[in-house]
Structures are given as C-alpha cells and as structure tokens.
Amino acid sequence: MTTPELYLSLLSGRQGDVSHLSTEQRHNDVGSRLSGHPFPNDPDRLMDLLDALAAVCVWKEEKQVMFVSLSMTMDPKAATLYVSSNETVPATVTSHLRIIRGQLKELQSVVVPKQSSVVVPKQSIPPDIETSPDPSKTQARTEGELKIQKTIYEYSYGKLRQRFNKWAPDILAKYDAFTKSSNLNIQDATLLQATHLALKHIQSLLRSKRPPPDLSRLIWMIDKLSGSWQDHLNAAGIEEILTRWDNYIDAGRNRKLSLRRLLKKLFTLHHHIRTIMRIAWSRRLSPFLDGQFDVVAVPAACYDISIRVSEQAVLPVIFPAREQKHLPIYDDILKRLQEKAESEGVKIEKGKLSMKQAAVHAECTLLAYHIQHPNIHPYCYFGGSKLSCHGCATFFSSYNLVAESFHLPQFFTKGSHNKIYLRWTCPHLLPLQRFKPLQPGTLSLDAQVKQKMIAALGKELIAYVDELRAVRAGPSPSQSDSTAASGDSREDANESLADLIAGLAQLDDQV
C-alpha cells in the first residue's frame, strides 16, 4: 500500500527545502481562520503566548521540540495546558510550568489593584483590555518580574548558551573588519561598539555549562541590548546598519555571520518571557491565575517505519502515467535518498528503508490526543517551540480539509520550515475501537487524511521529477536551502542604549 511516508522519503533527497515545489498553501498559516477567542481583536496575542509557553519548556541544547494547547473556561474559572514533545514529556516540564504560574500569581498580586472598576457579568468573558499596573508598586513589580526571568533563564540556560555559541564567535571575529571599512555615523558606531562589548561580556557569562551565579547581570544585558536594537531588527533599508553588515559579510551565503540573525536568536527567550508576564495583568487570561490550573503531559507515540524503495514500489509513484522511459531518474532519486539516509543515520537494506521506534512529531501527537478526547475543547491554535516540518504541515493541512465532514474542529500551528525528515510517521487519529460506522465506500478519518497527503505530496514529487529531468537535460539550476517572538517596546531605544553603555562602563571599572 502506498503511504505518505514513501512520498516524503522520495522528496527528502532534494537539497534544501521543498517550499517552491507546490503552489498550494502548505505552511498551515492560521491567517483569518483562527478564532481569536479570547482575543477576537488581536489573535496574535494568544498565538504569541502559546508559542512562548512552548518555548520556555525547552532546556536541551538541540533536538527537543515542545508544543502546547490551551483549554480555558470562565465559569468556573479553569485553565489547562496540554504539553507534547518528540519524546516523553518529563515531570520537570509540568512542574516548571506550575512554578511559573505560581510566580505569575505573586506578580499579579502586586500589579493588579484588588478592587477592579470593571464589573463583569458572571458568565461573560471580561473586556479585551489589560489592567493597568499599580504605579505605586514599581519596585515590587520589578522584583517579581526578575524572579520569573531568573526561573526561566536558569531552566533554559543550556539552550540559550548553545544558540549564542553557535553564532556569536564567528560574528565577533568579523567586528573589527566591518567597523574599520565602513563609514558609520556616530549613532551607528556607538550602537555597534556597545553591542560588541555587551556580546563579549555575554560570551564570558556563558562560558560555564551551568548558569552563572549572577544571572541577573545576563538578564539585564540582554534586556538593554533588546531595547537598543528594537528599531533596527526588522528594518530592511539599504542604509540600515544591519543590512550593511549582512551585505558586507555576505550573510546570504553564510547565515551564521548575520548579526541581525544572532540578535534575533539572542532576544527570543527574553521576548517570550515578556509575553508570558502579561498574563499577570490580563483580564482575559484571568483563569490562568484565579481558577483551577493544571498541566497535562500528552503521552508520546512511537512506531516502526518500513518503507519499500524498490523499483516495483517507486516507479508507479514517480511515473503515475506509467511513462517509464526515463528510468535513470529513478537512479537519481535513489542516490539522493541514500545520501539523505546516511546524513540521518538511517540504513537502506534490501530495498527497504527501516527505522525502529520513530517518534510521532510533537504537534501531530497533540492533534491526535485532542481528536481522541472530544470532551476537551482547546483553542484551535497549538503553540510550538519551533516551526513544523514539511510532513507535519502537510498532515495538518490534509486533516483540516476533511475535518468538517467528520464534525471535527480544525487546528493550526505557526507555520513550517519546509524541511523533510526521514523519521516521520503519521499518528493514528482514531483508535480502531472508535472508528465510527461509515456509509459503504466511505473511508475512515485516518484513510482520508493520508489520501489528501498523498495527493498533495504527489504533485510535489512530479515537480521534483521534472527538476531531475532538467538536470539531465542541461546545467543544474541553482537551488536554495526554534519561532520569532513578539516585540518588546517597553523602553525608548536611545534610553536603553544609554543604560547599556553606562552599565558596561561600570562592569569595566569592576574588572
């Protein structure tokens, strides 16, 4: 039987991502289809929050993915987070989220006046506004926010350290060459110099595999850097300092040398924490803190994968019209697949691609869980610590195409990076005992989802075959090759830069 896994494995041999092989929308962007409840006028706030909650669950340096969903009621007030991963969710994750919730509740007691002037009917959702923090509690609020920051930075320190060390050393090595060869105005030169010193201090603080004793210094420095660069990170003008850096370094050829990318990576955790702290004064999210709260670890699922990649299995797939004149293309596809398998540590033996206990990806596990537990009513957006792969994005879009016919809700994630992994397998959406009797000739939910996946991936495979034909016919065409956090504009950029420079001067005096 032909499976989506076969199509994905054949497509995986293509270098880079596969985003351009299909004109269909496959990135699963929620767009206008996302119900904004509890923020109908600003659904991005809810999406940012769920992405942030997933991101702060990650502590490993690599190969760890987290997804979360949220179920919330106003009467009675209750909130439940469902957490899934590409492995068994450890108890440390659920306890970490409960600790954060407890600290948010402490912060709420400081920033939210006890007597609210807004009267909310018992069974209605509060107004879509935030409570203004009590201005007389500034110091207590600062201490409460720092407590939450320390908790999350300490938990995710390993990931932060890995992310910084992956990018920063090469960029720091290019600093002198860029500043000496570029005619910078005073403002840009001052910003770059302060950033250079700050990055070197951060590099020193991140040398140890364990969090530094003075974690607040690291937090302060990232906070001031973030404020200093807030007007530049997304500016794309040719005279913008980050654009000039990328053009000088030729960051298009080597993304690891992009200062813009390093700064965005460095600020991601910081911005996620800022997003989470808004729970403390959000009336819409009051069930998080005022009612019953629970965290549910969704069980992971693993299946053995066995895919036949012999001529008999593959030729009807790559030549659906039985046009088998170009058999060398089969050899090209298998050669590229073999290279992909070797890069992922997978063996192809006797015409089979076999993998033991391949984990179902986190977002697919979460989707299957909610389909199998219809009494739970989560929001239709799943927050993720990183973008979905091509297999997961295709699975979600295929499920959404057939969900309505089964009277099931649609679900969405942030998007896809369009890469394909061989260790990908479809989850079982409904266990055998829950298959509903269907009309004669009607396929089950799982079968229809797989059918939609094969139809979409089949079109991409045809485009891939056409590419290989073009390669054999002439010169090869050029081929192109964790989630952004919400912004943070709490301080004027010039004020942040001034604070950063003053703080760095004090640090130098202490050395």
Structure tokens at 356: 């033991």
SS percent in the chain: helix, strand, coil, step 5? 55, 10, 35
pLDDT tens digits, one per residue of 192-203: 999 999 999 999
Q: Any idea what DSSP says for residue 232?
A: T
Helix (H, G, I), strand (E, B) or coil at 60: coil
Q: Read off the pTM.
A: 0.86
pLDDT tens string 321-370: 666 556 788 889 999 999 999 999 998 888 889 999 899 999 999 999 99
Cis check for the bond before 440: say yes or no (omega within 30 of 0): no
Smallest CA-to-CA distance from 45 within 369, 313, 274, 364 is with 274
DSSP per-residue string spanning 40-69: TT-HHHHHHHHHHHHHTT--SSSS--EEEE
Please tell me the predicted confidence (pLDDT) of residue 27: 42
181 has a pLDDT exceeding 90:
no
Report pLDDT digits (tens) over 394-415. Answer: 999 999 999 998 999 999 998 8
Cis peptide before 427 (omega within 30 of 0): no
Least confident stretch, 33-37, 44-48, 79-83, 161-165: 33-37
Q: Which among 175-179, 282-286, 491-495 has the top mean pLDDT?
A: 175-179
Report, as an integer, the average pLDDT of 470-495. Answer: 57
Q: How many CA atoms, within 13 angstroms, populate the side-chain half-sphere of residue 261?
A: 16
Report the DSSP pairing between strands 66-74 and 383-384: antiparallel
pLDDT tens per residue across span 427-457: 999 865 455 555 656 788 999 999 999 999 9
**Is it the case that residue 117 has pLDDT exceeding 60?**
no
Q: Give the distance, in angstroms, between the CA of residue 350 and the centroid of all CA atoms in the same chain.
A: 37
Of the pLDDT bands very low, low, confident and very high (cuts 50, 70, 90), residue 481 is very low
Q: Which residue has the tokens 């500034």?
A: 138
At residue 498 the predicted structure's pLDDT band, cuts being 50, 70 and 90, is: confident
Residue 482 buriedness (CB in 10 A; 0-12 / 13-18 / 19+): middle
Which residue is associated with the tokens 């179902």? 360
